[in-house]
């Protein structure tokens, strides 16, 4: 699907904050940022997972959320064109970055991409420990371009995680990810907690190796 907007600059000029979208951020360590730039009802479940990881790991957090009643897919801007100023500043401030995205798929799988091969290795390992299937991302969602924001952190290499719809639904106890289902933390499943901890363990192992 072709994006309706060529950039976030264009989107911000033609849409309204609060009616169409919201931006939420959290500042913490500035060593790692977790993002969900297609959050809210654009790629459902990504905001909640990124929020869970950032809170438990004490990482910086950024999400752009689609909050329309419908047609939130129109608010999708590809990562290579996501020139929203708050995000770019937070990416620039952080040594490392992980971006959480959603993709189609009726099997609970993760497609991993991005230029940080070392962090990818640890994430694959720790997710496999909780029986999550992780595959290398195909070229169209590989996250390998230099101008993908996740690779614009200080390390100049980040990790992009594409989670299938089936996996994202499994993050919620009732297997649904509509607005109330997503934002009701009592509905967040043990799998959400396990996935969160796996990412934190991977980051911790990765950072210890680099120190």
Q: How many domains does the chain have?
A: 1
Confidence (pLDDT) at 210: 80
- In a domain? residue 77: yes
Scanning the structure block, which residue is given the tokens 């040594």? Answer: 95
pLDDT at 12 over 80: yes
Q: Over the chain, what is the mean pLDDT?
A: 97
- In a domain? residue 14: yes
Alpha-helix runs per DSSP H in 44-178: 46-57, 85-93, 117-129, 165-169
A 10 A CB-CB count for 36 gives: 27
* Angstrom distance (rounded) from CA 149 to CA 131: 29
Those residues with Cβ within 8 angstroms of residue 116's Cβ, 6 or more apart along the chain or in another chain:
96, 155, 157, 158, 159
CATH number at residue 12: 3.40.630.100
- In a domain? residue 61: yes
Report the SS3 class of residue 3: coil
Distances 208 to 7, 119, 129, 211 between C-alpha atoms, Å: 37, 12, 19, 5
- In a domain? residue 133: yes
- In a domain? residue 1: no
- In a domain? residue 125: yes
Write out pLDDT tens, residues 145-183.
Answer: 999 999 999 999 999 999 999 999 999 999 999 999 999
Range of the domain at 125: 8-210
């Amino acid at each position: 699907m072709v994006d309706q907007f060529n950039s976030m600059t264009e989107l911000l000029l033609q849409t309204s904050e609060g009616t169409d979208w919201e931006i939420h951020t959290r500042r913490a360590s500035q060593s790692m940022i977790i993002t969900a730039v297609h959050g809210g009802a654009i790629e459902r479940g990504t905001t909640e997972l990124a929020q869970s990881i950032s809170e438990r790991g004490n990482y910086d957090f950024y999400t752009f959320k689609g909050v329309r009643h419908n047609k939130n897919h129109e608010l999708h801007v590809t990562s290579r064109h996501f020139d929203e100023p708050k995000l770019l500043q937070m990416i620039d401030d952080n040594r490392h970055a992980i971006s959480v995205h959603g993709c189609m798929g009726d099997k609970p799988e993760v497609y991993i991409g991005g230029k940080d091969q070392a962090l990818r290795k640890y994430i694959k390992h720790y997710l496999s420990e909780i029986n999550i299937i992780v595959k290398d991302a195909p070229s169209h969602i590989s996250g390998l371009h230099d101008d993908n924001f996740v690779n614009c952190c200080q390390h100049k290499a980040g990790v992009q995680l594409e989670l299938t719809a089936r996996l994202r639904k499994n993050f919620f106890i009732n297997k649904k990810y509509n607005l109330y289902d997503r934002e009701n933390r009592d509905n967040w499943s043990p799998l959400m907690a396990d996935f969160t901890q796996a990412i934190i363990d991977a980051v911790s192992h990765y950072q210890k190796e680099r120190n």
